[in-house]
Chains A and B, each alone.
Chain A
Amino acid sequence: MQLHVIAGLILRYVLLYSRNAIRLIELVFWPVVDLMVWGFLTVFLKENTSGDFPHFITFLIGAMIFWDILFRAQQGLAISFLEDVWTRNLLNVFVAPVRPSEYIVATALVGMLRVGVTVIVLTILAAFAYAFRLWDFHFLLIPFFANLLIFGWSLGIVSVSLILRFGQAAESLGWAVPFLIQPISAVFYPVSVLPVWLQPLALALPSTHVFEGMRAVLAGNPLPQSNLLLAFGLNALYLALAAWLFALTLRNARQRGLLVKIATQ
């Protein structure tokens, strides 16, 4: 892999944000809206229920911030690819000496930058508005953070592969793919809430183990090693599968002329 190639590609996506304030606003607008909705909901529930409530508040706000890590990481890949499609730049990129792995690494790093911006904004806002201080958990949540980032990358690679295979008609998948797994990822509720037949499917996702583990940490329990190991193991498997799918789709696109078709649509 050539660093100058990756640097060039990252610069291309980062400069887009410097050229358009709306894009920067979009980066934080929806996460902030989500945080406000979930934050005020938990405040309402706190005022109208009794019992062991403070944990419930942290679950919801923490889950919302964590979900955004996965979503923004996926978006980094999917939206960067779509940017190249929309601006008809894909042809210029693919006739340049850019390896598919360099393209994926560059867009994944763009995803990481997006995650960084969003998480910083949400963490500060949650601390001020709802007294939810993510830093109170020190470094315990970082391994979960890393797992969500990796799973977001896998989903991003799958999204790019689907758009490459089905063309611009499938571009809404750039946003939809993460939401396909959200209901069974136990983001806002424990996996035990799901029907028994759905639970094995949920447990086959790294995100489920992350959110289960996150709830344990937020409840003041020690870091659940088993959740963490399962999440890392599954992530390794899904990342390998996503890379294989992308390689296969790219080869198919080259054979069927789909790369040129999507680049010049």
Chain B
Amino acid sequence: MAASEVILEVNNLRKEFDGVVAVENLSFQLHRGEILGLLGVNGAGKTTAMNMILGLTEPTSGSIHAFGLPMPKSRIAILRRCNFCSAYAPLPSNLLVWQNLLIFSLIYGVKNRRQRTAALLELLEITPLRQRVTGHLSSGESTRVNLCKALLNSPELLMLDEPTASLDPDIADKVRKTLRRVQREDGVGMLYTSHNMRDIEEVCDRVIFIHHGQVVAEGTPQDVVRQSDHASLEEMFIDLARAGGKA
């Protein structure tokens, strides 16, 4: 595993919706096996940036390269090596858990589907949920099933949009530990958004603070806190939100 290999490169990314700038001049790199936190208040541009990286939204200007391939031109080739998990994009509620996992393992062309799914269910401690209706799961169970889907194709790059939102501390801790384990054992690079600063401090190797679509701070969670003269990331987050971007 080449620790310094860049798997995602974003340059001068800009997105404007009907005259409103959502993302402005955003540039960063993500290395293989690194977890990069994308932080910011609601409406800061995190999700828009992630949507552009996933090819859901086209940038107004700037470029995105994943594994050296340009997005959106090489969208399919990139998405085969990525996956996505969001608290706001649950799997179809009217199907059973195993049915949803079978469908997505087919879509992603997963080899040894049965073994791969069984191993992930075991890893996430949700094997007993196989026969349950997805819509009847608790938010903690649903998040782990979603994460199971996100790991089906052994992604090299994982996009996580608030994966621990609305989870109790115990489940949130399990999810964080699982992500760390996957990062360590499989060298998965992750782009991680969250409003939970504990999550960020515990999981992310590096963070980027964005506000009004622009980067206002960057570095390891400890460096960012130190440079900003705050006691914690949480304090910095609150100050940033209230001061309009000057931390």
Contact = CB atoms under 8 A, between A and B. Distances in A.
Contacts, number: 98
A183 B102 CA distance: 43
B54 interface: yes
A99 B76 contact: yes
B89 A5 contact: no
B107 A97 contact: yes
B220 interface: no
Q: Is the interface of A mostly helix, strand, loop or mixed?
A: helix
Interface in B78-93: 79-80, 82-84, 86, 88-93
A229 interface: no
B87 to A, nearest CB: 11
B56 A95 contact: yes
B149 interface: yes
A4 B17 CA distance: 36
Given A92-B149, A98-B107, A15 B99 contact: yes
A96 B96 CA distance: 20
Contacts of A15: 95, 99, 103
Contact of A12 (B54, B79, B103): B103
Interface string B104-122: 1111110000000000000
A15 B103 CA distance: 10
B109 to A, nearest CB: 5
Contacts of A94: 55-56
A260 B51 contact: yes
A89 interface: yes
Contacts of B55: 94-95, 254
Contacts of A95: 54-56, 79, 82-84, 159
19 contacts: A2-B109, A4-B106, A11-B102, A15-B103, A19-B94, A19-B95, A19-B96, A88-B88, A88-B90, A92-B91, A95-B54, A95-B82, A95-B84, A96-B104, A255-B57, A257-B57, A259-B57, A263-B56, A264-B89
The 8 closest A-B pairs by CB, nearest first: A8-B106, A8-B107, A91-B89, A97-B79, A87-B92, A95-B84, A97-B80, A254-B58
Interface of A: 2, 4-5, 7-9, 11-12, 15-16, 19-20, 87-89, 91-99, 251, 254-257, 259-260, 263-264
